[in-house]
Amino acid sequence: MTTQNPNPFSGLDQYIRSVAESVVESTMGETTKAMRTNDLDMPSRSREFIRQELASMADSTRAALVEGTANAARPYTAGVSPHFVETTTAKSIRRAMATAKAADRWLVIVSGPAGTGKTFPALQVSLRTGRPVYPVEISEATTLDDLFMRPWVTGPSTMGWVEGPAVRAAREGGILLLDECDLASPRLIGGLHGLLESGQTRLRSGEWLQAHPDFVVIATCNGLRSSKGTYSTHSISTAFADRAVFVAADYLPEADEIAILSRYGSPEAAADTRSDLVVLRRMFEAGGLRIAPSTRRGAVVVAALAAGASRADAWQIAMVSGLDSKTAEEVGRQLAAAETARQLSVPTANGVLP
């Protein structure tokens, strides 16, 4: 019967010490062996010096124990999207990245209400730089080990370190894309401060990491304040924001949004869906709708219309089926009224129909 070690990392220090000592032995031979067995007639200071050298070599060995493992972070490989349109937000992100580099900043924060289109343009602009991109979906459960470095079993009795997306991006001059960054814990945000302040941070392996000059972090969030309060229940810390340059994302201008929606169907369907989105966004901002009427939901509607669905059925697929009955009824009423207004060419008041 095989018994499992309740602490799988207990052998890490012993393993590192053995690796370091074997390297020293190859150059110092009998001196090291005698020192370890206390058979060497030498001053205690010299013996301590060798021990310190062993410890230093162990530290430098830690970072290189695991390389190329299948569990290490890998950059995004799906490629650019054919549906990408260079929107106002995308252009602002591109300018902010250039500004950050010129100002010796390592962080770009893209903030705005849910559904305004932050993550997709950030990803697509990043991919078009030709640099490796490491997207990370942040949650309250995300840890510093997830971003930087975590221990990993490399064999029956050996351990090493696996580099996370932040370390890989920093080494390679890549882009670390932190989505929903306002969901991050204070510990996670605090752990990023050193890297974002000077481009340096000390890893768990003991190595001091110096970021490549082209390294940048793009963080998307809903948490910066608007005139109506915060966009989410979390907020970005002042210290984190102080290290950033900013992009304020808002709902796309009409021409940009129709251009995107037209990629999924006819221009007429795209224009009508845009007017529906304007009505629903008024409901959302007033607190009457819990699902953000985003451009991506509009794209589903236009695609469903192109496949032969009625407008009511298209919205049912895109959003209404996910709502409670009372809200779904109100959405249905607003959309029906919007359709009637379009047929009669009657303008709406403030985007919300009576």
**Is residue 83 domain-resident?**
no
Do 260 and 239 sit in the same domain of this protein?
A: no
Do 238 and 262 sit in the same domain of this protein?
A: no
Q: According to the model, what pLDDT value does residue 144 have?
A: 94
Q: According to the model, what pLDDT value does residue 6 have?
A: 39
Query: How many alpha carbons fall within 13 Å on the CB side of residue 293?
Result: 24
Residue 230: phi, psi to the nearest 5? -80, 155
Q: According to the model, what pLDDT value does residue 220 have?
A: 95
Based on the structure, what is the number of domains in the chain? 3
**Is residue 77 domain-resident?**
no
What would the two tokens of residue 148 be? 């930087």
Q: According to the model, what pLDDT value does residue 63 have?
A: 42
Decide which of 188, 213, 248 is a domain's last residue: 248
Spatial distance between the Cα atoms of 322 and 7, rounded to a whole number of angstroms: 45
Q: According to the model, what pLDDT value does residue 201 have?
A: 94
**Is residue 284 domain-resident?**
yes
Model confidence pLDDT, tens digit, residues 292-325: 899 999 999 999 999 999 999 999 999 999 999 9
Do 100 and 238 sit in the same domain of this protein?
A: yes
**Is residue 353 domain-resident?**
no
Do 99 and 233 sit in the same domain of this protein?
A: yes
What would the two tokens of residue 90 be? 């995308």
Do 293 and 165 sit in the same domain of this protein?
A: no
Kindly give the parts of the chain with pLDDT less than 70. 1-72, 223-235, 346-354
What would the two tokens of residue 130 be? 């030709």
Do 243 and 290 sit in the same domain of this protein?
A: no
Do 105 and 56 sit in the same domain of this protein?
A: no
Do 57 and 135 sit in the same domain of this protein?
A: no
Whole-model pTM: value is 0.73
**Which residue range forms the structural domain that includes residue 259?**
254-344
Do 241 and 267 sit in the same domain of this protein?
A: no
**Is residue 5 domain-resident?**
no
**Is residue 79 domain-resident?**
no
Do 42 and 121 sit in the same domain of this protein?
A: no
What would the two tokens of residue 230 be? 């915060």
Do 120 and 225 sit in the same domain of this protein?
A: yes
